[in-house]
Amino acid sequence: SLLALAVYSISRMVICDTIMKKHTSLRSFLKWNLISLVIGVIAVLYFLITLVLKTPFVFLTPFENQVLALLYANLISAFFLFIFLVFKFLAYQAFTKHNAVWESIGIAFHNWKQNWASLGYAILFMLLTMFAVSVISYLVQKIFSYQPEWILTTIGVFFLLSVIAWARLYIMKIVER
């Protein structure tokens, strides 16, 4: 698990440095591990709270149709996921600029508070984009439905990672304005 943390931290460091056109030394690699751990702990707490908040919405769904109920539950899950991803992107962006773990978390909350209206619209736009990409992914997977399962999984992962990469750039542009 330490190797996974190291690989994850290096990947975040390279991505953030590339996007923000900044060069971070390998000496700050330990801080990247720490920010990744802190965001991981925040993620666990956030998703536990989200589970408690989401459960009544899912079980009290107004839809009797199973497909609509599932779509509703997935929409709520995606909404909460995008809220977390936006916070994560803000924290990594602040960390790339300031190289201080706790200060970066504070700056991420401050940026969220300062840009909440723009970020709210961005989350809604991201949900619509994710829905459109999901439909496209479904249609592409339908074309390849007779291929091995790993090909279908690869197609789905490709579309998911593409949306996340686009969302990261989109959020950074909004905050930089």
94-135 pLDDT, tens digit each: 888 888 889 999 999 998 998 888 888 999 999 899 888 888
Q: How far, in Å, CA of 143 to CA of 152, rounded?
A: 10
Q: Which residue from 51, 33, 31 is spatially nearest to 43, judged by alpha carbons?
A: 51
Q: What is the pLDDT of residues 44-94, one digit of tens each?
A: 999 898 888 777 766 776 667 667 777 777 788 888 888 899 998 899 888
Instruction: Show Cβ contacts of residue 100 under 8 Å, excluding neighbours closer than 6 positions.
Output: 31
What's the pLDDT tens digit per position in 5-40?
A: 778 777 777 777 777 777 766 667 778 888 888 989
Place of tokens 């690869």: 154
| Amino acid found at 54 | K
Residue 126's closest CA among 69, 166, 77, 175?
166
